[in-house]
Structure formats: structure tokens, C-alpha cells
């Protein structure tokens, strides 16, 4: 028993989603401890004001933010470990506490993903606030979490006919937008993308093109500088110039009837095949899955997810 308890604590410290030990008091204590550490990381996450200071490149705020990002990414891994461990223990134990820890870990992980993604976005806008190396652990945590959910959904019902409730990960995938903005602002970091998994690198490069287009749109919509006030004796502009009519409005182009397999649509289709793909009247494409309807635009970007249609 002593060796088993030691193995449990070592597995809890690694947080790598390894197979969980058999149920004993040590396993439950390990789950509670990991849950408490994840909650502590969420309680210390930067506020909106803190993130604004980070975007302004406040030195102290950036330093604190980098430390909190590491703790939040660890909280993602902790949530995955708890779900894996509780699911294995539930195979032979119908204790409702295990099911409660399993479900709560999914919510904690979702909160940690959102908080870390928001923080990474702020750090990406700060001068020297983030590197691709800082984002790599977050991307790896997302991959481990997705692999865990893919495995859990295939497990048979647990003891007492308890079914494991899935905890889907958010779309679009976290951290990719922050990486794209970081590399767009610092082109010398582009070579660092080659050290990431090919799928992540490809999605980041695709988003970089979107960032460049957004920057061009911002430049075009920026108001022109106000002309200097006319000096005394300067004649007013000719009446003909004031009467120039505005350009005729152009008719909006019809949405494309073709779905480009890129961006979020590419990630969805690579993960699993939808039951159907439908072009809606509003120009969006509906990818139908058992857990919901994913609506993407013709460029493959996720617009929103809707509840599954009632059959």
C-alpha cells in the first residue's frame, strides 16, 4: 500500500495524463490537491485592468503576467489529469464524489483555457511580453486535453452505469490567434513556427494572413487628419466642389456558395466527419455533428455553435 500511495503522488505531480492508480484514500487526496492548485491559479488570474497594463508594456505587469500564464497552463493540465484519474477510478467505484470531481475538473479546465488565452493575447501585444516558446506549453496542453477527451468518449459506462459527460474544448483553438499576432508584429519569430506541430504551424500562418488584412482595414478606416483652418483672406472653396455628389453605393456581393476547407473548418473536418454539410440562406455553412451545429463562413472561420437540431 505504501508503494501504491507513493506512485499516486508521483503521478499527480507529473500531470501528464498517465493511467490513474486504483482507488484508495491517497488517490482522492491527490485529486483534491490538484483541484485546489487549479482553483488557486484561477483565483490569481489577471483582471481586465491588469491585462490593459500588460498591453501598455508595463514592465512589472508583464513580468507578473508571464508567471500567471505558466500557472494557468498548469491548471489546464491539472484539469485533464483529474478527469483521467477520476474516470479510471469510476470503472470500479460508483462513489458520486468521483463523478463530481470529474465534472468539476472539466469546468475548471475550461475556465483556465479561457483565462490563459486572454492573458496570452494581452502579452502578445506587449513589447517583449511573449515568445513562441512561451506559447508552446499551452498548445501542448490543448493537444493533451483533446486526446484525453477523444479517449474518454470511447470508454464504456462506469460502475453503477455512470456515463462520462464530455467536456469539449473551445473553438477556435486557443493560443493560435495570439501566436499569429505575435509573429505578424515580429517577423523574425517566423522560423520558430517550424518547431511546433505542423498542424499548429499551418493554422498560425493562416491566421497571420487574417491579421495582416485586419491591420490594412484599420489603416483604411482611420480618420484623415483635419485640414488646417483657413487663414484670413483665404477665399472659401468653390461652390462646385461643395456640391460634388457622393459616389454611388455598390451592391453587396452575394456570399460564396463554396466552402473553403481552411481555418476552423479544416480543424473540425480533420477531427471527425460531420453528418451533413448544408449551405444556409444566410450564406453560412452548417456542419452537423451529434454535439451541435457548427456554423462557418465560406472562408472556413467558425461563426458560432448552435444546439443540435431536434430530429
Check: CB of residue 46 under 8 Å from CB of residue 110. Answer: no
CA angle 306-210-274, nearest 5°? 35
DSSP string covering 205-239:
HHHHHHHHHHHHHHHHHSPPPPPPPPPTTPPPPPH
The SS3 call for residue 293 is strand
Q: Region 229-244: what's the mean pLDDT?
A: 51
**What is the per-residue pLDDT across 258-309, written as a single tens digit (0 to 9) for each?**
777 778 878 888 778 887 788 777 678 888 888 888 887 888 888 778 877 6
What's the burial of 266, exposed, middle or buried (CB within 10 Å: 0-12/13-18/19+)? middle
Give 180's Cβ-side CA count (13 Å radius).
22
Using pLDDT thresholds of 50, 70 and 90, give the confidence band for residue 1. Answer: very low
The answer to whether residue 243 scores a pLDDT higher than 80 is no
**What is the per-residue pLDDT across 142-192, written as a single tens digit (0 to 9) for each?**
999 999 999 999 999 888 888 888 899 988 889 999 999 999 888 888 898
pLDDT computed for residue 69 by the predictor? 96
The residue ranges of every structural domain in the chain are 2-158+171-185+198-216, 258-311
The answer to whether residue 200 scores a pLDDT higher than 60 is yes
pLDDT computed for residue 235 by the predictor? 54
pLDDT computed for residue 106 by the predictor? 96
Amino acid at each position: 500500500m505504501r508503494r501504491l500511495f507513493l506512485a499516486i503522488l508521483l503521478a499527480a505531480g507529473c500531470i501528464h495524463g498517465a493511467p490513474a492508480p486504483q482507488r484508495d484514500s491517497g488517490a482522492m487526496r491527490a485529486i483534491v490537491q490538484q483541484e485546489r492548485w487549479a482553483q488557486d491559479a484561477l483565483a490569481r488570474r489577471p483582471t481586465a485592468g491588469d491585462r490593459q497594463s500588460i498591453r501598455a508594456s508595463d514592465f512589472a505587469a508583464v513580468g507578473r503576467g508571464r508567471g500567471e500564464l505558466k500557472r494557468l497552463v498548469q491548471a489546464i493540465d491539472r484539469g485533464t489529469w483529474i478527469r483521467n484519474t477520476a474516470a479510471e477510478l469510476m470503472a470500479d467505484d460508483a462513489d458520486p464524489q468521483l463523478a463530481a470531481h470529474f465534472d468539476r475538473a472539466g469546468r475548471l479546465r475550461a475556465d483556465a483555457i479561457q483565462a490563459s488565452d486572454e492573458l496570452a493575447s494581452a502579452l502578445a501585444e506587449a513589447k517583449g511580453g511573449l515568445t513562441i516558446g512561451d506559447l508552446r506549453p499551452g498548445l501542448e496542453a490543448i493537444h493533451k486535453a483533446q486526446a484525453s477527451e477523444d479517449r474518454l468518449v470511447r470508454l464504456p459506462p462506469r460502475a453503477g452505469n455512470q456515463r462520462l459527460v464530455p467536456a469539449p474544448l473551445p473553438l477556435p483553438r486557443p493560443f493560435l490567434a495570439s501566436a499569429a499576432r505575435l509573429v505578424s508584429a515580429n517577423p523574425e519569430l517566423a522560423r520558430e513556427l517550424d518547431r511546433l506541430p505542423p498542424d499548429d504551424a499551418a493554422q498560425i500562418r493562416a491566421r497571420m494572413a487574417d491579421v495582416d488584412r485586419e491591420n490594412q482595414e484599420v489603416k483604411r478606416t482611420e480618420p484623415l487628419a483635419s485640414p488646417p483652418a483657413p487663414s484670413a483672406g483665404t477665399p472659401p472653396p468653390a461652390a462646385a466642389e461643395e456640391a460634388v455628389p457622393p459616389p454611388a453605393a455598390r451592391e453587396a456581393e452575394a456570399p460564396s456558395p463554396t466552402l473553403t476547407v481552411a481555418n476552423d473548418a479544416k480543424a473540425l473536418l480533420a477531427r471527425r466527419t460531420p453528418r451533413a454539410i448544408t449551405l444556409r440562406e444566410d450564406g453560412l455553412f452548417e456542419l452537423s455533428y451529434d454535439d451541435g451545429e457548427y456554423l462557418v463562413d465560406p472562408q472556413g472561420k467558425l461563426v458560432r455553435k448552435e444546439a443540435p437540431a431536434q430530429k
